[in-house]
Chain A
Amino acid sequence: MAFINMYTYSSALHLQTRLVVLMPESVEAQDIPVLYLLHGGGGNSMSWMSHTSIQRYAEEKGIAVVLPAAGPSRWLDMKLGPAYGQYIAEELPQTIKRFFPKTSDKREHTYIGGLSMGGGGALHLAMLYPERYAAVCVLSTSSVIPLEHLRTIKGYPPPPGGEGAPSLPQIHLGVDDPDELKGTKYDVLHQSVRNIEEGKPLPRIFHAVGTEDHAFEVGLALRRHFTSLEGNPYRYEFYTEHAAHTWDFWDKYIAKFISTLP
């Protein structure tokens, strides 16, 4: 499997961006499935690489993996920064198809996932763009509007601008508390119901969080919501075990998610 560290310009962000791409090397491969895998807060394109065996799992399955970087964002269009949501969901698939023509651009072979902040980003984008993803892998996230108040550690990481600078919710969303966006398109629960009402295709949801994780209560609330939808239209599956917010857990469950792919 090829490990590709690349730099290319993003029009959506108006920035040179770095991408790590894991690409099957087989010359016979066609219509290669693609997993967009999002890192957590403070991470970058190397986070999944350094801390898990993602390359081995992708190679065994024969899928491509794209590891973008969130920069200062939470994977959504920023109030005080560039449009990362558009970048991931709209521009990046075109970029990948252009440089790697044998990758699939079909919804049924396109997946998105992430850990922590990346799990929340993946879920948000899957709800905003359900027609783009066949499945979403949500690991240990509490970055889910309107459930963030259920996170069991309070407060936010320090603002990147230093003391006295605008808070993360302010730079990300223009609010002091992300849960204020309840009822808007950024409300995952609300969007999930709208997608059903509007007859959109619905991604399968694979969700895992450890019982000792500060995101566990958020996870239970997500489970309550998705299992309450009649007929389980998102084919929602929940996994848990005695574990905390750790890389061991994410390594195990990304492998498990990949094993559920066709």
Chain B
Amino acid sequence: MAFMQIDMYSKMLTRQTEVAVIIPERNAGSGPFPVVWLLHGAFDNSSGWWRNTAVEHYAEQYGLAVVMPSADVSFYANGPLGRYFDLVTQELPEVLGSMLPLSRDPAQQVVAGLSMGGHGACKLGLTRPDLYAGMAILSAGDFLDLGNPPPGSFLEDIHLKLFGTAVAEELRGTEHDMIHLADEAAKRGGPLPKLYMTCGTEDTAYDSAYKTFRHLTEKTGVVGEWHSLPGEHDWAFWGKVLPDVMRWCASVVRPSES
């Protein structure tokens, strides 16, 4: 198993950025390998997933490459501090795909993430369904359901700096509204990525996550599976569900073998 920490210049961010990459060695021949774009949550960086879970173990088991970008607290959108959406959807696939044995075939791409990363997976999957065969959303639903951030809190500060508003309802119908993105994608027509959603029953995001799942699968024609199990919004939960998420990613990129 090759584990790489890559420092590279990003034109989308106008600065050096860090990406962690796992490339299978044993199980899966010489590549190019299917790719799981694995997105971290708020306050984290490219090191979160590999430090807190056994993602490398499962990458090897299923013969999947895993790319873990650093996206600050960007909600994976193009914003004033950088074009993070373009980083993950365009620049990293182009630069890393050229440097490493990563598949460029959309049928072999899955985008996955936890919390803010789950929001990102949904945003990327629904805005660019042409790029991904699957999207896995862990512990996230349409965050607008959670209402306004507490006044004076750091979360409110983030909302103001990133979104320009601390009023969640003002984000309805924008790129940050998952339901809206789903409806728009359905209107445009064409295939949509398969969906895997999971959330811990003790997580405050649970109701929002399930409601989002129902909307995506019942109203917009997304084919999906829902996994509810005991757990909170923490690494114990994400470590527990990761093996099944990776199993599902493998099944999406190799449907004939599942």
Contacts and interface: CB of A to CB of B under 8 A. Distances in A.
A158 B72 contact: no
Interface residues of A, number: 30
Given A18-B45, A80-B161, A160-B13, A44 B82 contact: no
A101 interface: no
Contact of B79 (A42, A69, A157, A161): A161
Contacts of B79: 161, 165
B38 to A, nearest CB: 15
Please report whether the interface of chain B is mostly helix, strand, loop or mixed according to DSSP: mixed
Interface stretch (B14-22, B89-97, B201-209): B14-22
Nearest to B162: A80
B96 to A, nearest CB: 17
Interface string B67-96: 000001100001111110000000000000
A160 B16 contact: no
B18 A44 contact: yes
Interface string B216-251: 000000000000000000000000000000000000
Interface in B8-66: 9, 13-18, 43-45, 47-48, 51
B16 A17 contact: no
A44 B5 CA distance: 14
B78 A16 contact: no
A161 B82 contact: yes
A44 B15 contact: yes
A15 B70 CA distance: 11
Contacts of A165: 79-80
A72 B15 contact: yes
B81 A15 contact: no
A162 B18 contact: no
Nearest to A47: B16
Given A42-B14, A44-B7, A47-B16, A16 B80 contact: no
B73 A160 contact: no
A81 B162 CA distance: 9
A41 B15 CA distance: 7
Contacts of A81: 81, 161
Contacts of B45: 7, 15-18
B44 A16 contact: yes
B48 A18 contact: no
Contacts of B44: 15-16
B73 A16 contact: no
Given A7-B47, A81-B161, A18 B18 contact: yes
B16 A43 contact: yes
A161 B81 contact: yes
A158 B47 contact: no
10 contacts: A14-B154, A15-B44, A43-B15, A44-B18, A158-B14, A160-B80, A160-B83, A161-B79, A161-B83, A162-B78
Interface of A: 5, 7, 9, 14-18, 41-47, 69, 71-72, 80-81, 157-162, 165-166, 170-171
The 9 closest A-B pairs by CB, nearest first: A44-B16, A42-B15, A72-B81, A161-B80, A16-B45, A160-B82, A7-B47, A160-B14, A166-B80
